[in-house]
Amino acid sequence: MSIVDNDPTNYQLPASPLIQVEHLTRIITNRTQKTTLLHDVTFAVPAQKLLTINGPSGSGKSTLLNMLTGIDKPTEGRVVFAGQELKAQGENALARWRGRNVGIIFQFFQLISTLTAFENVLLALELGGGGGLPRNAWRKRAQDCLEIVDLGSFAHRLPSELSGGQQQRVAIARALANNPPVLIADEPTGNLDSKTAYSVFNILAGLTEQGKTVIYVTHDSQLASYADARINLLDGRIVSAHGTQAIVTAKQEEVHS
């Protein structure tokens, strides 16, 4: 077991972590067996950086994301977000916390097909309460979010009139609508060709300069390597990490990549 912060390009003072993941273990028990989906996972998510969670199918990425968003609870360990432990909150409080603090971006965009790009973003403001803005500022905010992802002139198109990459940019605009400090993207480019994937990755990476902390889950190790910080998972354990304080729990002979 070792603590690593071994990226030679990480010469700046590390930003203080916004999210601390401490000894997370998730075990599922059914009638016949116990399955360990995550095993003693510890790392810090640096504020205003993009951190990738990388690993092959079945390595535990989605399980870990569900803990980070408070959708699932760990069997052991805890997630501490800006000093507050998630587990300590009830379901309703957690849902409110998610609405204020986390914008989620999905692999298949999950835009509402009958609404325009603008209306999809506006709906997020209506459902999320506008991120502290008065109602009369929401339409401008929706348009501004589309401008951030360079889709201002596509605001009145339906999702079916947009390319896959453009739809994912609308989904990023929607995630930004209520101005959360953290964006969590679950295989956001898994459904896109590599060139489009790279441009969507760049948009998300660029948002760190506007103060956002981005957690980006991907099975694409090349894309993951462009990130400020990354952890690599295999069989529910961290097998390596760069640019973040993480505890590697895999034994050397278990590392396949």
Ligand X SMILES: Nc1ncnc2c1ncn2[C@@H]1O[C@H](COP(=O)(O)OP(=O)(O)OP(=O)(O)O)[C@@H](O)[C@H]1O
The full length of the chain comes to 257
SS3 44: strand
Instruction: In angstroms, give the least distance from the CB of 37 to ligand X.
Output: 4
Q: Where are the alpha helices (DSSP H) in the chain?
A: 61-68, 91-101, 117-128, 138-148, 164-176, 194-206, 221-224
Min dist. Cβ of residue 39 to ligand X (A): 11
Give the residue with the Cβ less far from ligand X, 37 or 51.
37
**Rounded CA separation 224/196 (Å):** 15
User: Residue 17's closest CA among 93, 81, 92, 60?
Assistant: 81
Calpha distance 76→87 (Å, rounded): 10
28 vs 82 by CB, closer to ligand X: 28
Q: In terms of CB distance, is 35 or 194 closer to ligand X?
A: 35
Give which of 176, 171, 173, 174 is closest to 188, Cα–Cα.
171
Binding site for ligand X (CB under 6 A): 28, 35, 37, 55, 57-63, 219
CB of 59 to ligand X, least distance (A): 4
Nearer to ligand X, 232 or 244 (CB): 232
Nearer to ligand X among residue 58 and residue 99 (C-beta): 58
